[in-house]
Structure 1
Amino acid sequence: MQTFTAQSWDHLQELLFAGSWNADIGRYRSPYVFRGLSDDQFDLKTSLMRLGGQYPQLEHHLLRNFKKYGHDNFEPTDSVWHWLTIAQHHGLPTRLLDWTYSPFVGMHFATADIGQSEKDGVIWKVNYHDSCKQLPSDMKRRLEAEGGNVFTVDLLTDLVQDLDAFEQMEDEDYFLFFEPPSVDGRIINQHALFSVASNPTVAVDNLLDKTQTDCERIIIPAGIKWEVRDKLDQANITERVLFPGLEGLSHWLKRHYSPRTPE
């Protein structure tokens, strides 16, 4: 895994969009997805891992009770992938990680927390095309037959009915990317997708290293964070857009009118 440090706003764009050219179709179609974090010391641990304690055993209970008490709020479904998507979307600790196809959304999440402005941020950049090489053979064949590089909830549901089956498809640990259904404007506007690992105790960054998946870490130094943040605001990459509704509007206004913290 390579690590690059952006020297300026322009250099950051070069790093994020590098590798976008697809010679086969003569278009700029990036094979990368992005995850922005406000502190470069943050790894790719899931919210389930950060729960601590006996979290592998708690995963089943968390999801079971979410389905039990939350079914009145959503369309009934038997798909574990649909329920995991909804649970992650509403803040339940899960084994999913949020990613985006948009470099600018990645930049937003790396700079939105102005309380972390004195710390370097980081954007993880992962080649989701290359990640398919480590999939179980049945999954890989099905994805190739569909002509895609990322799973859908429906496709995953056809392949694996529950998390136990997902874990047992391969002896070696693996991970995959899948696109959630467009349940609301947040998922649509954030150009979102999720990663999920077959083993809830293994962080995705470890699997990236183990499987030698093409990926990079791009550091946003604290010294250019405010410039990046202000230019994203001017480009309308804000909470008001990414989190439609009054809550997102309030977060944007609070940050927009907050004084700049010391250098």
Structure 2
Amino acid sequence: MSLNQIKEIRIESWKDFKNLLDHRNFRQWIYRGQSDSRWNLESSLYRSITESKKIRGAAGKGTLDINKKRDEEIMLSRFKSSAHLYLSHLPKQNDTFSWLALMQHHGAPTRLLDFSFSAYIALYFALEAGGEDAAVYCVNHNALKQLDEEHFGESRKLVYQRALNQFNNEDQVCLFAFEPEFSNHRLMAQQGLFVASNSIEFTHEQALSEYELKGNEVFKIIIPKELRYEGVRMLHQMNITSGTIYPGLDGFCRSLYQLPIFDSKLQGRVGLEP
């Protein structure tokens, strides 16, 4: 692969962040936050296979016999056959991308990566945990789509079909963004969408670097760890919290996790002292 370097921009203040992003057209750009700037863009399926290789290699079982496509198909098949035991509303049987989105939602490994149409929601995921420099990836969705259409044709359904059903094809590795027909409250609250790959041989970062995107069409904002506290406070003032990002009781419980950031004496004030 001939990789193009993704431009990195290190901000020095939240004013820098605002100036970089506030005037970009909504839904033309998509964003992903990561709590450690050293992490690459990798799907959970890619990481699962990588970790499996390490475990098999350490046990002397070999790694060359791992059939990635077969394992992915088995995961999807097992999820489809068992999901009705836990969920009352399910996607159409042939809506593969909605099934993958549902798997992603519940923590199963897939070839998808979560993105958001909101830079500030992506920032929440970058800052919600961790103590290192964080990062927000910024991608011009329209530019990505245009290059995909030039390579695959104007039919988006054809792109989807080839991406899933021709794992061993000779197409150049590609990425494409989509919103599943079968959505959920969390995805809507996060203004979320997914970026899929037509190959799990490469990371999303490697695939993205294959595109001939300009420096102002894809870049990575590095957020110094010293700005984390102020950033979390800023997001709370914007009502971007665990309670709004994760609707329901789970979100409320996650919101309690960050209470000590703002007031370590809160427990005493609400009568919880022993």
Report the TM-score, using the length of structure 2 for normalisation.
0.79
Equivalents in 2 of 1:120, 1:96: separation in Å?
A: 24
**1:153-232 matched pairs, under 5 angstroms:** 155=157, 160=161, 163-165=164-166, 168=169, 171-181=171-181, 183-213=183-213, 214-232=217-235
Q: Secondary structure at the match of 2:115?
A: strand
Letter in 2 for 1:77: Q
1:69 paired with 2:82, answer: yes
CA distance change for structure 1 residues 175 and 233 in 2, over 3 Å: closer, same or farther? same
CA distance change for structure 1 residues 257 and 140 in 2, over 3 Å: closer, same or farther? farther
Letter in 1 for 2:210: K
Q: Contact conserved, 1:79 with 1:161, CA < 8 A, in 2?
A: no
Gap runs ≥5 in structure 1:
21-27, 144-154
Equivalents in 1 of 2:76, 2:110: separation in Å?
A: 8
Q: Contact conserved, 1:63 with 1:84, CA < 8 A, in 2?
A: yes
Post-superposition shift, 1:258?
A: 4.5
Q: 2:15 pairs with 10, 15, 40, which one? A: 10
1:31-62 C-alpha deviation (Å, 9 max, x unpaired): 21100001001110100111132372421111
Equivalents in 1 of 2:111, 2:219: separation in Å?
A: 22
1:45 paired with 2:48, answer: no
CA distance change for structure 1 residues 42 and 234 in 2, over 3 Å: closer, same or farther? same
Q: Which residue of 2 aligns with 1:95?
A: 111
Q: Contact conserved, 2:29 with 2:139, CA < 8 A, in 1?
A: yes
Q: Which residue of 1 aligns with 2:268?
A: none
Post-superposition shift, 1:141?
A: 1.3
Moved more, 174-183 or 217-226: 174-183
Gap runs ≥5 in structure 2:
1-5, 53-65, 265-274
Post-superposition shift, 1:254?
A: 1.8
Q: Secondary structure at the match of 2:136?
A: strand
Q: Which residue of 1 aligns with 2:143?
A: 130
Equivalents in 1 of 2:163, 2:190: separation in Å?
A: 27
CA distance change for structure 1 residues 207 and 99 in 2, over 3 Å: closer, same or farther? same
Equivalents in 2 of 1:211, 1:137: separation in Å?
A: 12
How many equivalent residue pairs?
Answer: 237
Taking only the aligned residue pairs, the percentage that are identical comes to: 27
CA distance change for structure 1 residues 156 and 249 in 2, over 3 Å: closer, same or farther? farther
Q: Contact conserved, 2:114 with 2:192, CA < 8 A, in 1?
A: yes
Report the TM-score, using the length of structure 1 for normalisation.
0.82
Equivalents in 2 of 1:137, 1:165: separation in Å?
A: 19
Q: Contact conserved, 1:110 with 1:123, CA < 8 A, in 2?
A: yes
CA distance change for structure 1 residues 100 and 162 in 2, over 3 Å: closer, same or farther? closer
Q: Secondary structure at the match of 1:99?
A: strand
CA distance change for structure 1 residues 94 and 44 in 2, over 3 Å: closer, same or farther? same
CA distance change for structure 1 residues 55 and 41 in 2, over 3 Å: closer, same or farther? farther
Post-superposition shift, 1:245?
A: 0.9
1:135-185 C-alpha deviation (Å, 9 max, x unpaired): 265854125xxxxxxxxxxx579x6288224764x6211111001236321
Query: Which structure has the greater CA radius of gyration?
Result: 2
Equivalents in 2 of 1:227, 1:129: separation in Å?
A: 32
CA distance change for structure 1 residues 249 and 234 in 2, over 3 Å: closer, same or farther? same
